[in-house]
Structure 1
């Protein structure tokens, strides 16, 4: 399967501003099922310089800088990808991985490198019992993770929410709804409440049934020794397969935005964005 992805971001400013350096997380991450056939990045105004870098968590990004004032910043990323079939269940866990468990403990070799991904940032007494219910009804890790994301998909309504930021865990348990980024944050807190390292993923998710309405999507990866990072989508109740194209992964959602940057000058800015994903027929 070949996919064509066009991602347009447009920032308009109330008055002309000077743009400080910007970081653009618009490069698909290395995955065995993704081959980049073509990649075009068009930026207006034309940057003085552009370079590809890698951040502290291993995410590739473009760093761009400017030398002129502007009332608008337009970033258009165009990708053509070849996508191979990928079985997200095809892995073997290390023999040290024990199931069932009350609180998961990683082998010493992983402890330091996973510390940030285990830290629980929201505490709620409903988190661990909810996860424990899925553990009690499962026979192994695959059935547990499958049931957990299916239960979240069943118990929470997936909504489109344009407001910035994240809903709190307390709000989500109260309202029983959330956007893809909210539900991903909820799943992360659930997994961390029982000791499982997890991270937030932002990228593209291709739905062949959609003609339009594609947006950036959020999902979760959990780390299990032997398997590495395993993708989970609580919004749809699925393991992440070849239709998921990650751009950035982090212990915290704020580190996975597609564009970071500031400007000098007065007035406010306004962002509009559009993502179009189409299958290219041979």
Structure 2
């Protein structure tokens, strides 16, 4: 299917401020199931936009401004061909069918921190114990274990919209028993790493064909887990879904904070900031 995506971000200030460079990670990332047909990125006030590729291979734009403004508008648009199957079949290597399994030496080296729990953040042992409770025996099916973890997060965690910046720690999400999609994804990722899997954070857009045209789209955060043979498999614990059929990835990273859609600062007083509004529309392209 062909989808059109429009991502609008608007900042308002009580007086003119000098905008510092803003990092924008809003452009869909091509893959086997996604091809970008066209894209555009515009800012008001006008900005000089430069493009680069980060360490994870994500397409990153930097918008530099030359004039002060009381309002900043960032509009990202894209048209994509989305062919990810609704019911994917994964060709997992035989040696990884049963959990626990051992990654090859090359995979261990290349996964690096993506397979290592965050022992520096308090509460890691609690997250590890919570994750191990999903393991039903000495030998179990690897994909079934991940499916159970993906479906089981919402058993203990209540989804809620959270407007505050940043991501809760996984232990904090367990303590509060609630979180946003990025908090829930971070908990799943950390749990998977405690179980020995390589996992990474994904930011992008969610397309829900059952919603109205006005509501069928949102920024979203989910996770991917690496299984030999199958590669990176998408898990969306906020919706208990597996696979990319309703997901449009923009960026991958070790943690959510590395791939926030828009980050930037301004020169002025803290009280100059008034508001930020984000709207996203993802629709079927009628052409």
TM-score, length of structure 1 as denominator length: 0.90
Which residue does the alignment assign to 1:234? 237
- Equivalent residues of 1:88, 1:241 under 8 A apart: no
Name the SS of the counterpart of 1:136 in structure 2. Answer: coil
Q: Any stretches of 5+ residues in structure 2 without a counterpart?
A: none
C-alpha displacement at 1:278, in angstroms?
1.7
Which residue does the alignment assign to 1:26? 26
- Equivalent residues of 1:220, 1:231 under 8 A apart: yes
Name the SS of the counterpart of 1:32 in structure 2. Answer: coil
Which residue does the alignment assign to 2:284? 279
Which residue does the alignment assign to 1:222? 225
Name the SS of the counterpart of 1:6 in structure 2. Answer: strand
Which residue does the alignment assign to 2:165? 164
CA distance in 2, matches of 1:244, 1:84: 11
Name the SS of the counterpart of 2:184 in structure 1. Answer: helix
CA distance in 2, matches of 1:73, 1:271: 9
Which residue does the alignment assign to 2:177? 176
Q: Which is worse superposed, 104-113 or 238-247?
A: 104-113
- Equivalent residues of 1:41, 1:76 under 8 A apart: yes
CA distance in 1, matches of 2:193, 2:31: 25
Which residue does the alignment assign to 2:267? 264
The one of 224, 248, 252 equivalent to 1:249 is 252
- Equivalent residues of 1:88, 1:230 under 8 A apart: no
How many positions carry a matched residue from both structures? 279
C-alpha displacement at 1:181, in angstroms?
0.8
CA RMSD of aligned residues (A): 2.2
Query: 1:107/1:151 Cα in 2 relative to 1: closer, same or farther (>3 Å)?
Result: same
Alignment of 1:65-214 (within 5 A): 65-86=64-85, 89-97=88-96, 99-101=98-100, 105-121=102-118, 122=121, 123-136=123-136, 139-211=140-212, 212-213=214-215, 214=217
Query: 1:157/1:28 Cα in 2 relative to 1: closer, same or farther (>3 Å)?
Result: same
TM-score, length of structure 2 as denominator length: 0.88
CA distance in 2, matches of 1:37, 1:89: 24
